Amino acid sequence: MELEASEVEAEKFKSKKTNITDSWMKKHSSIYKEATRHPFILSIRDGTIDSPSFKKWLGQDYIYVRAFVPFVASVLVKACNELDDSSDTDIILGGLASLNDEITWFKEEASKWEVSLTSVVPQRANLMYCSFLKSLMRSEIEYTVAVTAFWAIETVYQDSFSHCLEDGSKIPEELRETCQRWGNNGFGQYCHFLQNIVDRCLEKASIDIIAKAERVFITVLEHEVEFWNMSKGEI
Ligand SMILES: Cc1ncc(CNC=O)c(N)n1
């Protein structure tokens, strides 16, 4: 029986025992590195970040996380509509629930730094990223594509902030909590659970959905780079 191109593609990955997501991280290692070892992150790691840059990131990221909530909810809905509605929904629901505490943390952190969250004006890179999230919420966007974006978004922050916590870093004490929020091992484990979901979906996906998911993976990385650039940019 003739194998479909997608089955050949999937077989190739199965036999090589490399996940599709790992192959993407290698294939797109330069943009992945730009997103996870950005000068903004390195300035936190070496303690050279100035407080206006940190305060700018804090305000902008609060706006982003508010837009991230309905996006994660839309991924949960897509997961529930999948035929084999398996443990995916539990993991995604856990991610959604954690955003409640995250928003509380942003409000507390903002008052510590005297950032007024209500008067933050979303900058262009943030608006572009949030409208990209909104575009992925459309019902015609497949679950595999949406959950790929979700995994990529979480992994960029986990990889970035865990780098800040590694030995040899000189993060200022007042930034340690921020780094630990996304750099801790529990969040790392959660990102691996998301990565397993993505790889399982990709194994079953058609060749054109795999291509769509790969493009979305790259687009997330590009938006993350722009978001860090914005945070480092002029006030
Ligand atoms: C710009 C951006 N990307 C990823 C994350 C991490 N996800 C939720 O907190 C974030 N907070 N902000």
Query: What residue owns the CA closest to ligand 1's atom 4?
Result: 153
Around ligand 1, the residues with Cβ closer than 6 Å are 61, 64-65, 68, 102, 153-154, 156-157, 224, 227
Domain boundaries, the chain: 3-222
Whether ipTM > 0.90 holds is yes
d(CA 53, CA 111): 16
d(CA 57, CA 59): 6
Catalytic residue set: 224
154 is in an annotated binding site: yes
pLDDT recorded at residue 18:
81
Q: Per CATH, which fold does 3-222 belong to?
A: Heme Oxygenase; Chain A (1.20.910)
Ligand 1 pocket test, pick from 41, 56, 61 with the greatest ligand atom count within 8 Å of Cβ, gives 61
Strand, coil or helix: what is 127? helix
pLDDT in tens, 172-194: 999 999 999 999 999 999 999 99
The CA 156 to ligand 1 mean position distance, Å, reads: 8
Distance CA 230, CA 235 (A): 9
pLDDT single digits (tens) 53-96: 999 999 999 999 999 999 999 999 999 999 876 689 999 999 99
Which atom of ligand 1 approaches the CA of 129 most closely?
1
